[in-house]
A and B are shown apart, each in its own frame.
Chain A
């Protein structure tokens, strides 16, 4: 793992972090306008796949910024308020997914897509676990509620979205990147 490249934080990371955050905010808001069907208390947010994609494509800092700012932005747009622990949880989701970046050479190769999805799933687990467990201290909920009421539905919904949409995003990105030559 090329640590220098993975953890670089310059103009590129600032811009793609902002773009990822804005897209995450727009798609989160759009999902509120056109809600997708859900099973039980599991909701599907396609925006999650975009967040994971930005982490996988541009690295952990971009994932962190896109998740933290994007969640703040989505909540601001929907008018739900500001919940720092969920924003940070979303940031962690993108950051962990971003650890896949140095391992990916070809965005349309099956092995690299599997790596992206795997790190994305790990990111979702870490991020949602952080947000759910901090609710124990912030909201005073029990461990069972945090795990069953918050973490499990969030993880399942986000994981399904990532497994289905991330490969499509990665393959589309491979085409765009080859055309741009960057």
Chain B
């Protein structure tokens, strides 16, 4: 059992981008959609298509990414989408205030009684649910490829070059380097406990008992790590860590190329464009397009 990174070297446009560009672009889209509260499909759908295009350009193999997709889709469809369609909440008040025909009602009654209530499903709520899912996916699709396409050793330096402190960035770098070691320690501990008769797959008892029985796996690794920490601190102090500004070897590799400026420009255009459309031109609020109402036969 080895913890392996999802990252693989692929000769793609996405991987040739500077990691900072990727992170800044992600934030541009997230803040562009959220700060001015964009709920207009005419803005959301193009952004969704753009996110999807960038996702496919990353050329991540399906066998690597399907679990992430299942996780995201369950959240987006079951928790967010269904809830949006049932309640119409989460977005602007106009979802519930717009006069909209009721498609059908979902009864929530105690069987055999008249105790309960019915939830009307309106065209407005259905459209809102679809828009909400598309909006959320537009952001998630940009976030999913990051672990697959960004080398683990550039996270720390990327945050440093984006303005984070040396200490924070070094901690991030150190954490990524410690991970394989602790993963190996954990695997060794699991093997050692199994040799003593510990059955990891058959954890018996209630929830408390099951959690308590994980202690023989968690405690040795954690305690060994705390001891290791003292040695690392000594080694770093001996090398005068934190006495002066650090230099970063990977820093020289982070250079903005013309493609980065193009992506950063696009990110800025998305963010500024969303703000201007909403606050200056009044475009971007929630509304139900006529074609959708007509499609449903109303």
Contact = CB atoms under 8 A, between A and B. Distances in A.
A11 B139 contact: no
A19 B242 CA distance: 18
B147 A10 contact: no
Interface string B179-216: 10111001000000000000011010001101110110
B174 interface: yes
Interface string A4-24: 000001111111111101110
Given A9-B167, A79-B67, A80-B144, A15 B229 contact: yes
Interface of A is mostly: helix
A152 interface: no
B120 interface: no
A40 interface: no
Given A26-B179, A165-B215, A176-B226, A79 B3 contact: no
Contacts of A73: 175-176, 179
A140 B147 contact: no
Contacts of A160: 207-208, 211
A14 B218 contact: no
Nearest to A70: B175
A26 B5 CA distance: 12
A47 to B, nearest CB: 9
B230 interface: yes
Nearest to A47: B218
Given A25-B175, A72-B155, A149-B79, A82 B225 contact: no
B237 interface: yes
Interface range on chain A (Cβ under 8 Å from partner): 35 or more
A21 B207 CA distance: 25
A17 B211 contact: no
B167 A137 contact: no
B143 A82 contact: yes
Nearest to A30: B186
A50 interface: yes
B89 A142 contact: yes
Interface of B is mostly: helix
Interface stretch (A93-101, A117-125, A166-174): A166-174
Contacts of A18: 170-175, 178
B46 interface: no
A65 B164 CA distance: 12
Contacts of A57: 226
A75 interface: yes
B135 A140 contact: yes
Interface in A143-173: 143-145, 149-150, 160-161, 164-165, 168-169, 172-173
25 contacts: A11-B241, A15-B229, A17-B171, A19-B182, A19-B228, A19-B232, A21-B171, A22-B174, A22-B178, A22-B225, A23-B221, A27-B186, A50-B218, A69-B175, A70-B175, A73-B175, A73-B179, A76-B5, A79-B68, A80-B68, A81-B140, A81-B146, A140-B135, A169-B222, A173-B223
Interface of A: 9-19, 21-23, 25-27, 29-30, 33-34, 36-37, 39, 44, 46, 49-50, 53, 57, 65, 69-70, 72-73, 75-84, 136-145, 149-150, 160-161, 164-165, 168-169, 172-173, 176, 180, 182
Those 3 A-B pairs whose CB atoms lie nearest each other, nearest first: A142-B89, A18-B174, A81-B143
